[in-house]
Amino acid sequence: MKRLLLLAFLGLLYSPVSFGQTSRDVQSVLDSVFADRGEVYFQFNISDSRQIQSLTRLISIDNVRGDIVHAYASKKEFEKFLTFGYPYKLLPAPGTLIPEAELKPDSAFTRNPQTIWNFYPTYQQYLDYMTGFAATYPAICKLDTVGTSIQGRLILALKISDNVNQKEPEPQFLYTSSIHGDETTGYVLMLHLIEYLLTGYGTDPRITAMVDNTEIYINPLANPDGTYHGGNNSVYGAVRYNANNIDLNRNFPDPKVGDHPDGNPWQKETIAWMAFADSNHFSMSMNFHGGAEVFNYPWDTWAKLTADDAWWRFVAREYADTVHSYSPSNYLRDLDNGITNGYAWYEVNGGRQDYMNYWHYCREATLEISNIKLLPTSQLLNHWNYNYRSFLNYIDQVQYGFSGIVTDTVTGQPVAAKVYVFGHDFDNSQVYSSLPSGFYTRAIEEGNYTIGFSAPGYYSKSVKNIDVAKWTTTTVNVQLRPLTFGTSEVIVNTATIYPNPCQGKFMVVLPDNFSGPVKISLINGQGIGVYQGSGSSLHGKLAEPIEPAGLAPGIFLVKITTGENVYTGKLINQP
Ligand SMILES: [Zn+2]
């Protein structure tokens, strides 16, 4: 009875009325939806894309196609939405569109010799697969627990690499799916990918090299409470949100808005993800979603482009173009023929993608892998065939650009250093070498670069004229010399000064993206201060040229002081 009433009302257009004024029938439908699922799926029209900005933190926008917006809301969120007065249409929940019987594996559930990935496993089968993979391939596969969901389900990741129990000087790569519990295509495709990598190792040379040279992590199911909302026996009834009716992909710290962009405390799953990201050092990752078909690259939260926008467009195009060679002509064609800058599509605050990019120096993209969120089982193998080559290409990209090991000149020990590209990096696009190996890797568009290295207690160093080509790796190993004077709290970094020699007026660029006030002083060859001034730096570049009145010809030490650091450089004045 409840379900009949629900279906009768779905698809009807409702006038903008507040909860109090809603007709009793509509109210009872909403009450029933919220009681069953904790969230409602609906659509409405906008007249101006700027309207998204005022709505994106109140409800969970799922897709914007022209002036039509699809969104989810919890009861609390929906009440806020109603106050805006948009006419809306309730939509059937994507997790309930396919009959439950059609989602299950057929009776021949087996892992031997190889699974045919054309079904949605039960929660227990999922656990069996994950533990089974690690048990069957212990040399190259290890089970890692990211954390536990609110309802006590496991958030699991498999690490796939040679010497799987060590942290080697190799890039760490992450695939993760279904943080929106009802977007399940990526869930099955990631299980398929795990098996493909494990069975290909030792037989397929490309897979063998990939596993040998990369530490691959795959988390097929980031929001198990959402996916198994209808019970552990089926993904039927899957919902977007977690068990607290909160969208986990709006719950992360946001570079623009701050720590709690959705106004909610960090969820148990979010905290587990942040700890997992902290304890690893991912260089590239991808988060699988559904409901659209597009490769979405950062940023989602603001209109600014990343420092590596050209690289992102290249990698996104490679992904989509490869898919297009193996798929029907209408697949993965949303927005710019299957790729988009996130913000250009619609603004999202608190997403995992921007969090990983901004705070973990990781290149994370969002892949919307199927228009249908809970894909019919008959489509799962097709989608694997469209995408698996691109999955592999995207993993390979983590090897390209430049990479190397940073060590101490005296002890030879590895150093955790900041690695930045002069004239290129801003908004946290730098990377870091990590212990225990001192290894770093920096994906970057082809070009010629000057690379800086700095670490507390060491002299900074720059390496000029590094050529990077597409699909190749340039190795740049660097030794840093420890500071030998004074307390090691003072870090002296080399500033770039130009033109040099100058004619009384010069510019300064700092070897990082420091923004804020600076003090400037000039010291002549006799050690006497000849100039003191102040200025400001934006992303490491001083806002104004420095022009000390009546500066004599000669050689000077330029000293730039911020609250934290001292930067120096040698200046020749030849007026
Ligand atoms: Zn999603």
The Å distance, Cα 345 to ligand 1 centre, comes to 14
Question: 299 preceded by cis ω (within 30°)?
Answer: yes
Domain boundaries, the chain: 2-91, 110-397, 401-480, 492-573
Rounded (to 5) percent helix, strand, coil in the chain? 25, 30, 45
**pTM check: above 0.85:** no
Identify the CATH class of 401-480: mainly beta
Give the up-direction half-sphere exposure of residue 30: CA atoms within 13 A in the CB hemisphere.
Answer: 25
The Å distance, Cα 179 to ligand 1 centre, comes to 7
Closest CA to 288 of 236, 385, 353: 353
Q: For the domain bounded by 492-573, which CATH number is listed?
A: 2.60.40.3080
Distance separating alpha carbons of residues 480 and 258, to the nearest angstrom: 35
The domain made up of 110-397 has a fold known as Aminopeptidase (3.40.630)
Secondary structure letter of residue 457 according to DSSP: T
Query: Residues 532-572: pLDDT tens digits?
Result: 999 988 888 898 899 998 899 888 888 888 877 788 888 88
State the pLDDT at residue 527: 73
The Å distance, Cα 19 to ligand 1 centre, comes to 27
State the pLDDT at residue 237: 96
State the pLDDT at residue 525: 76
Asked if the domains 401-480 and 492-573 are classified in one and the same CATH topology, the answer is yes
State the pLDDT at residue 290: 97
Q: Over 80: is that where the pLDDT of 5 sits?
A: no
The Å distance, Cα 62 to ligand 1 centre, comes to 7
State the pLDDT at residue 20: 43
State the pLDDT at residue 315: 98
The Å distance, Cα 290 to ligand 1 centre, comes to 6
Residues 6+ positions from 227 with CB-CB distance below 8 Å = 178, 181, 182, 184, 187, 221, 235, 238
Q: How far is CA 333 from the centre of its chain?
A: 22
10 Å Cβ neighbour count for 90?
20
Query: Residues 52-92: pLDDT tens digits?
Result: 888 998 999 999 999 999 999 999 999 999 999 999 999 99
Annotation marks residue 368 as catalytic? yes
Q: Is domain 2-91 given the CATH code 1.10.10 in the classification?
A: no
The Å distance, Cα 151 to ligand 1 centre, comes to 21
The Å distance, Cα 220 to ligand 1 centre, comes to 14
State the pLDDT at residue 406: 98
The Å distance, Cα 300 to ligand 1 centre, comes to 13
Distance separating alpha carbons of residues 340 and 567, to the nearest angstrom: 39
State the pLDDT at residue 13: 57
Question: 113 preceded by cis ω (within 30°)?
Answer: yes
Instruction: Give residue 246's pLDDT band: very low, low, confident or very high (50, 70, 90).
Output: very high
Residue 259, φ and ψ in degrees, nearest 5: -65, -40
Q: Over 70: is that where the pLDDT of 4 sits?
A: no
The Å distance, Cα 326 to ligand 1 centre, comes to 24
Query: Residues 149-199: pLDDT tens digits?
Result: 999 999 999 999 999 999 999 999 999 999 999 999 999 999 999 999 999
How far, in Å, are 300, 336, 345, 347 from residue 303 at the CA level? 8, 17, 10, 9
Question: 436 preceded by cis ω (within 30°)?
Answer: yes
What is the percent of the chain where pLDDT is above 90? Answer: 76
Strand partners, 394: none
The Å distance, Cα 183 to ligand 1 centre, comes to 6
How far, in Å, are 18, 63, 70, 71, 82 from residue 79 at the CA level? 7, 20, 16, 14, 5
Per the residue annotation, which of 77, 368, 544, 547 is the catalytic one? 368
Distance separating alpha carbons of residues 222 and 126, to the nearest angstrom: 13
CB-based contact 415:438 (threshold 8 Å): yes
Q: What is the mean pLDDT of the chain?
A: 91
The Å distance, Cα 131 to ligand 1 centre, comes to 27
Q: Over 70: is that where the pLDDT of 107 sits?
A: no
Instruction: Give residue 486's pLDDT band: very low, low, confident or very high (50, 70, 90).
Output: very low
Q: Over 90: is that where the pLDDT of 449 sits?
A: yes
State the pLDDT at residue 114: 74
